[in-house]
Amino acid sequence: MHRMPWRSCIVIGPKGQNTDVISHEWLHAEIQHRIGFIRFLTEIPVWFDEGVALTLDYRKPFLPENIDLTDEALGRRRHASE
């Protein structure tokens, strides 16, 4: 998606011509349209923008049951009592 102060343009390549990709990108554009370009850049964290868009994206790698995050991958240490 290309972000410009006056609008967002969604550009979809041949591999992205499916409902999941289009709805994901469209939601990014909708958020920017509703709150404005400057507020989008200054007030919306990337994690929130991507997280909201992923709620409409049902591609296999992004499904909760397919995400395997261990304590080690998150940089957490396990307590000796565990």
Report domain extents, the chain. Answer: 2-66
**What pLDDT, in 10s, does the model give residues 17-33?**
888 888 889 999 999 99
Tokens in use for 57?
């994206």
Q: Look-up: residue for tokens 């469209």?
A: 26
**What pLDDT, in 10s, does the model give residues 34-80?**
999 899 999 999 999 988 998 888 777 777 676 776 777 667 666 55
- pTM equals 0.66
Question: Which residues lie closer than 8 Å to 53 by C-beta, 6 or more apart?
Answer: 24, 25, 27, 28
State the Cα–Cα distance between residues 30 and 27, nearest whole angstrom. 5
